[in-house]
Each structure stands twice: as C-alpha cells, then as structure tokens.
Amino acid sequence: NTYRLESHNKFQDYLVREKAQAILTNKLQQAKYDGVSSPSLCASVSEEILKAVKELDFDRYKYVVSVLIVEKAGQAINVASRWVWDVQRDTWVSAKCETETFIALALVMACYYE
C-alpha cells in the first residue's frame, strides 16, 4: 500500500519564521509609513515571503501569506483569524518588524493537503 498521509518534508516553523523575519527587516527597515503606498508594499512583501517559503520545498502544504502595515499612532491593535483547521497538520507562523513610524506583521498559514 503506497497511500500515505504524512509529508516527507514536514513544515518547519523556525525556518519559515527566520525567512519571513529577514524579508520584513530587509524590505521595511528603512521605509517610512505612507498610507497610499502601503497596500502595494504589503502585496510585494507577501509575494516575496510566499516565494521564499515555497523554495523551502515542504511537500503537501498550501500557503496563505498576509502582511499588515499599521502606522504607529499610540493605539493598540488586535489581529484575529478564523480557519477550519486540522490541529495535527496545519500550522502558522508570524513575524514582526517595527520601525519609527509603523509596525509590520506577517502571518504565514500552512495548510496541509493530501
């Protein structure tokens, strides 16, 4: 019987967290907050993170990458997500980059598929 449920190359949180953190830091460390250009910056950073995660070649996973950039204005923020989740196989990773003018948060969700 060749039917298997487990991945040969299982998702490794620490590798993805390191990649996402490095990309956020490299792309955003010198940037200033701009409400007009932030959506396109979020899109380009999330695409770069997605590409880096796919290069790690974890088999049997699909990814969702979300990047949020919020201006620092003395406020608090809560970010929440809801998913239909397989607790044994699905997982997520977050990375954060903070500058003088904004905070950037990247969420990488890895959903296992057969």
pLDDT at 25: 94
Range of the domain at 66: 13-73+87-112
Residue 53 lies in a domain: yes
Domain count, the chain: 1
CATH code (residue 33): 3.30.1140.40
Residue 105 in any domain: the answer is yes
Is the pLDDT at 26 greater than 90, yes or no?
yes
Residue 89 has pLDDT above 80, yes or no: yes
- The model's pTM is 0.89
Please give the pLDDT value at position 1.
58
Q: How confident is the model at residue 74 (pLDDT cuts 50, 70, 90)?
A: confident
In a domain, 5, yes or no: no
The CA distances from residue 20 to 40, 54, 79, 98, 106, in Å, are: 17, 12, 18, 14, 7
Predicted confidence at residue 2, as pLDDT, reads 66
